Structure 1
Amino acid sequence: MGKIFFRLVLGGIAGKILGLLREVLLAALFGAGRVVAANRIALTATLIPINFFTADALTAGFLPLYVQYRQERPAMARTLYRAVHLLLAVFSLLLTVALIFGRDLWVGLLGPGLDSHTADIAAAMLGIAALGVPFYVLYNLNTLVGLANDDVRLINLRPSCQSVGLIVATVIAWRTGHVSVLAWGFTVPYIVLWGWGAYWIRRQGYLHGGNDTGSHRLDRAATKVALGMFWRRLRPLLLIPVILQGSIAAERAVGSLLGVEVVAATEYARFVVDSCMALLAAPLGLAGLASFARMKADEVGAGLRRLIPPVILVAVPLALILSLNSRGIVTLLYARGQFDERAVDVSSVLLLGFALGIWAHVLGYTFVKVLNARGANFQVAIVMALSFGIPIAVNLLLYKQWGAFTIGAASSIGGVLMFLISARWLSVLGYSTRLLAIALPGAAVAAVAGYLLAGAGLLRLVASCVAILLIWTGYVTAVPSLRRTFLSFVLKKPGRSTDEPQPDGLVATKSATGEQ
């Protein structure tokens, strides 16, 4: 798993650099006004129904089963791929038609606070983005085929290609005045990615193997068995997309009620947090899906105990830096061109809310993917229902009192719930909380120093960040349990599953499979 994780991280860095350029350019040329708000609504309107039907079907239903079949029955793996590919192709074409003809209604539901002009722009953008749905869905399927073969190149290619497309579209929209061109920045890259992905997995021979001499009847029988197993894994997860996509829809609706600048600023703030998540949580989760699916039951606990300490030791200071310096970071990244003082105010408040729970999001996301890999999809359904359902209530009930901060705070609350519940089911909650308790004094001292040094200007931003990192590093180095735990992860060869030395006072908990 370690090799896959580091390849995903390195591949994600290039994409995030381009993504930063994309967001900075968008902020400078269009600010946080109606054009950006319409674009955010249109892309959300495109992705919600896609993810509603396919996200968990692919990562939790298809990938673990495909990995299992590749190891035991390669011909069944190929049969599963073909069956799921056909289902997704039909579904995505129907969804494209539905989005195009129902775009005005769908935009109205997601953006009840938008004025008519902004809603019209969003509907026009949605009609263009909908054309990319089939290519987006089928490319995602091909990336998982690559991942099952320990090939992360297709996954790493996505953010860079998408960012380049959006950058080009942003420049064209600004130069021509045709703002709907922004939506082509989503559609065109996924057409290119789909074509390359289909070519790549065939060139690499990932779909070869097994016995091709069976009759058509046997193929139909194998397809029925493969889809039956796929459905069995997917069935417990049917509630998840309802809650997850409902949470995103509620966030967009609340943002539109608070003002178009909140809709636009939400993604500027979220980009900063999501970039960190993409470099930590997503690689850990995706690597965990492939690696933990192959582990024996008695190896899972040791694998988790190797994974948790370095994540905590990286994510905690990251949360401190982002939350204590939210205004300085937003100013440094975006405050130029059309991005005015009001946009800075709103974005920094949102970033503060998102950053408070980033440590929990990183751990929780990873734990959920491990549960997926172990086939514990019923537990995953409960985790996701609570960690996204409760933030929906927070957003809807408190937005009038907390304003824009509500959206970020609700996300952090969801992250903490995801961490607590998934860690409990994996039998590592006690281990994780004791490690957090050992780290707390160092985090508190670093937070005080970072807060006192934070302020306007690049110099104070750098001083605050450096102080947090120096104090935190000194504390980790000075506390033997933290130092040994971190070094054990760094020095351990990837793939070993023997138990790691535990931090002082931390007793290895029951194996992760003990409660499944």
Structure 2
Amino acid sequence: MTRIFFRLLLGGVTGKVLGLLREVLLAALFGAGRVVAANRVALTATLIPINFFTADALSAGFLPLYVQYRTERPAMALVLYRTVRSLLTAFSLLLAVALLLGRAAWVDLLAPGLDPETARIAATMLGIAALAVPCYVHYNLHTLVGLAHDDVRLINIRPSAQSLGLIAATLLAYLTGRVELLAWGFTVPYVLLWLFGIYWVRRRGYLAGVDGDPDARLPDGSGRRLALRMFWHRLRPLLLIPVILQGSIGVERAVGSLLGVEVVAATEYARFVVDSCMALLAAPLGLAGLASFARMEPGAVAGGLRRLLPPVLFVTVPLSLILCLNSTGIVTLLYARGEFDEQAVRISATLLLGFALGIWAQVIGYTLVKVLNARGRNFQVAIVMAISYTAAAGLNLLLFRHWGALTLGVAASVGGLLMFLVSARLLGVLGFSLKLAAALLPGTVAAGALGYLLAGPGLLRLVASCLGILLVWVGYAALLPGLRRTFLLGIWARLTGLAGRKSGV
């Protein structure tokens, strides 16, 4: 699992560097106004229905079963792939048509606070983005086929390709004045990624028949029915999850539109910072966990989690402190140029503060949920997600008139905390996690106090605050024997072990 995690992590770095360039360029050229808000709404309107039907179906329904079949009955793995591919083809084509025909009504429902001109721009962009739906869905399937073979290349190239497309589209939209071109930055990369995915899985022979023999006899119609039945058996407990998850995202977008166009645009600028951390930590951990924990014996799962959680906590807690205490400085450093004015800085920093409060819990919660998926405990996953996202949506609806933009971030953090607590309880590591958190609490308070005193306007104070937090944090862990053994030595062992494997030792 460690090897897969670091490969996903290193592959995501390039994509995040390009993603930062994309967001900085978008902020400088278009600020946090109606064009950016329309683009955010259009992409959300495209992704919500896609993820509503496919996200859990693929990651939690298809992948674990495909891995199991590859080990036990290789021919059935190919049958499962072909069956799921046929279902996704029909679904994605129907969805693309539905989005094209109903784009105006869908935008009005998702973002009721938009003014008519912004809503019109968003509907135009949605029509363009909808063209990429079949390619997006099939590429997701190809990435999981690769992951089942411990190949993360298709996952790693996605963020870079998407960011390059959006950078090119941003420049074209600004230079030509045709703002709808922003949406082609989503569509064109996924058409190209889909074509490359087809080429890659065939070149690597991942879709060959039994034991790599393409001429091996595949199961008959009864085999296809069995594959579909097993897929449905794994997927059925998850049907509630997309309703809750995508509903929560829809509520967040609707609340943002009611708070103003700038909040819609600024939400994604703040989310980019937090999502970058999630993409570099939580997503690799979760995906690696799907492949690794699925192969573990039942009695080894808790032990594997006890080895995994300490270094994750050690990294994510100071990260959360840094983002919270320096939200204004970080937003100013990244975005405050060109059309991105002081109002945009203030709103984005407020949102970042709220999101960052619970980033440590979100990373761990996401990872634990994926472990539950890998163990086939999908009904319990539905419980975790229902609690987490219902709470987030409820907080957004109840508090947005009182807390304003901060509500969006705080609601997401509360949802992440609940996801962590409930999933840890179900996996039998809640007590262990709480003991670790309690041991870290004094260091958290000390590091936070110093970081707060050093924080302020300007790059120098931003750097001083970040370094102060890190020094106090590492020093606290080094002074206490229990923490030194649990965190520092554990991380060192993992890093040296990885280096030894790379060098062939």
Same fold (TM over 0.5): yes
Question: 8 Å contact 1:306–1:489 — kept in the other structure?
Answer: no
Give the equivalent residue in structure 2 for 1:183: 183
Report the CA distance between 1:489 and its aligned residue: 4.5
Question: 8 Å contact 2:312–2:364 — kept in the other structure?
Answer: yes
Report the CA distance between 1:298 and its aligned residue: 1.5
Report the CA distance between 1:484 and its aligned residue: 1.1
Q: Does 1:334 align with 2:339?
A: no
- Which structure 2 residues correspond to residues 57-456 of structure 1 after superposition, within 5 A? 57-210=57-210, 218-456=219-457
Report the CA distance between 1:488 and its aligned residue: 2.7
Question: 8 Å contact 2:310–2:436 — kept in the other structure?
Answer: yes
Report the CA distance between 1:331 and its aligned residue: 0.3
Give the equivalent residue in structure 2 for 1:24: 24
Cα distance in 1, alignment partners of residues 464 and 393 from structure 2: 37
1:406 aligned partner, one-letter code? T
Cα distance in 2, alignment partners of residues 420 and 406 from structure 1: 21
Report the CA distance between 1:209 and its aligned residue: 3.3
**Alignment CA distance shift 1:489-1:462 (3 Å):** closer
Give the equivalent residue in structure 1 for 2:501: none
After superposition, give the CA deviation of every residue in 1:374-432 in whole Å (9 maximum; x if it has no partner): 00000000000010011111001110000000000000000000000000000000000
Cα distance in 2, alignment partners of residues 387 and 66 from structure 1: 28
Q: 1:488 aligns with which of 482, 487, 490?
A: 490
List runs of 5+ in structure 1 lacking aligned partners: 495-516
Cα distance in 2, alignment partners of residues 213 and 173 from structure 1: 50
Cα distance in 2, alignment partners of residues 368 and 165 from structure 1: 31
Question: 8 Å contact 2:208–2:214 — kept in the other structure?
Answer: no
Aligned residues: 493
2:427 aligned partner, one-letter code? L
Report the CA distance between 1:491 and its aligned residue: 1.3
2:452 aligned partner, one-letter code? Y
Give the equivalent residue in structure 2 for 1:514: none
1:126 aligned partner, one-letter code? L
1:129 aligned partner, one-letter code? A
2:46 aligned partner, one-letter code? T
**Alignment CA distance shift 1:145-1:214 (3 Å):** closer
Give the equivalent residue in structure 2 for 1:41: 41
- Which structure 2 residues correspond to residues 490-505 of structure 1 after superposition, within 5 A? 490-492=492-494, 493=497
2:35 aligned partner, one-letter code? V
Report the CA distance between 1:215 and its aligned residue: 7.0
Cα distance in 2, alignment partners of residues 321 and 397 from structure 1: 28
Cα distance in 2, alignment partners of residues 214 and 347 from structure 1: 57
Question: 8 Å contact 1:22–1:163 — kept in the other structure?
Answer: yes
Cα distance in 2, alignment partners of residues 199 and 124 from structure 1: 32
Instruction: Indicate the SS of the match to 1:294.
Output: coil
Question: 8 Å contact 1:317–1:469 — kept in the other structure?
Answer: yes
1:377 aligned partner, one-letter code? N
Report the CA distance between 1:301 and its aligned residue: 1.2
Cα distance in 2, alignment partners of residues 134 and 39 from structure 1: 20
Cα distance in 2, alignment partners of residues 274 and 156 from structure 1: 16
Cα distance in 2, alignment partners of residues 94 and 288 from structure 1: 33
Report the CA distance between 1:116 and its aligned residue: 0.3
Report the CA distance between 1:214 and its aligned residue: 7.4
Instruction: Indicate the SS of the match to 1:311.
Output: helix
Instruction: Indicate the SS of the match to 2:220.
Output: helix
Most deviating of 472-481 and 372-381: 472-481
Give the equivalent residue in structure 2 for 1:513: none
Instruction: Indicate the SS of the match to 1:295.
Output: coil
Give the equivalent residue in structure 2 for 1:505: none
**Alignment CA distance shift 1:212-1:466 (3 Å):** closer
Cα distance in 2, alignment partners of residues 212 and 127 from structure 1: 40
2:415 aligned partner, one-letter code? G
After superposition, give the CA deviation of every residue in 1:110-136 in whole Å (9 maximum; x if it has no partner): 110000000000000000000000000
Cα distance in 2, alignment partners of residues 315 and 488 from structure 1: 15
Report the CA distance between 1:296 and its aligned residue: 1.0
Identity of aligned residues (%): 71
After superposition, give the CA deviation of every residue in 1:456-503 in whole Å (9 maximum; x if it has no partner): 110110000000001001111111112212223541557xxxxxxxxx
1:457 aligned partner, one-letter code? G
2:130 aligned partner, one-letter code? A
Give the equivalent residue in structure 2 for 1:497: none
Cα distance in 2, alignment partners of residues 298 and 382 from structure 1: 23
Instruction: Indicate the SS of the match to 2:338.
Output: coil
Give the equivalent residue in structure 1 for 2:503: none
After superposition, give the CA deviation of every residue in 1:283-302 in whole Å (9 maximum; x if it has no partner): 00000000000111121111
Report the CA distance between 1:212 and its aligned residue: 6.3
2:158 aligned partner, one-letter code? R
**Alignment CA distance shift 1:455-1:95 (3 Å):** same
Give the equivalent residue in structure 2 for 1:498: none
After superposition, give the CA deviation of every residue in 1:292-343 in whole Å (9 maximum; x if it has no partner): 0011112111110110000000000000000000000000000000000000
Cα distance in 1, alignment partners of residues 144 and 317 from structure 2: 30
1:43 aligned partner, one-letter code? L
Instruction: Indicate the SS of the match to 1:65.
Output: helix
List runs of 5+ in structure 2 lacking aligned partners: 499-505
2:240 aligned partner, one-letter code? L
Instruction: Indicate the SS of the match to 2:294.
Output: helix
Question: 8 Å contact 1:307–1:489 — kept in the other structure?
Answer: no
Cα distance in 1, alignment partners of residues 480 and 153 from structure 2: 39
1:172 aligned partner, one-letter code? L
Report the CA distance between 1:221 and its aligned residue: 1.2
